[in-house]
Amino acid sequence: MASYRKKLKQLGCPELSVNTSTHSRYAVVKKPHKAELNYLPPHPEGQTAESLEQICEELLGDVYIRDNLRVVNEKMATTFSIRRQEIVKESLAVDVLMLRWPALFHVTQIKEEFKRLTAVDLESTFIGNLDKVMANLLGLFHAKGGIAGYKIRETMKLLDQDHGVDIRREVVIRCLIVYLSENIEDLIEHYQDTTAVEDIAEHSLKIITRGGAPDGTPFDAEIVLDGIRVLGGLSSLMSPCISLFGLIYSLDLCYPKGLKYTFEFFQKVLLNLVQNCHQRFYH
| Mean pLDDT of the region 47-74 | 94
Model pLDDT, residue 215: 64
Q: How confident is the model at residue 200 (pLDDT cuts 50, 70, 90)?
A: confident
Q: What's the chain's average pLDDT? A: 86
pLDDT at 27: 41
Q: Helix H segments across the chain?
A: 2-10, 14-17, 49-62, 69-78, 80-90, 94-100, 107-118, 122-143, 146-156, 165-179, 238-250, 260-265
Q: At 167, is the pLDDT very low, low, confident or very high (cuts 50, 70, 90)?
A: confident
Amino acid identity for residue 90 in this structure: E
Strands 228-234 and 220-225: antiparallel
Q: Give the contacts of 241 (CB within 8 A, at least 6 positions apart).
A: 173, 207, 266
pLDDT of 33 over the 90 cut: no
Mean pLDDT is highest, among 28-42, 148-162, 236-250, for 236-250
Q: Would you say residue 8 has pLDDT above 60?
A: yes
In the predicted model, is pLDDT for residue 28 greater than 60?
Answer: no
Q: How many angstroms separate the CA atoms of 59 and 66, rounded?
A: 13
**pTM of the predicted structure, to 2 decimals:** 0.85
Residue 24 pLDDT? 41
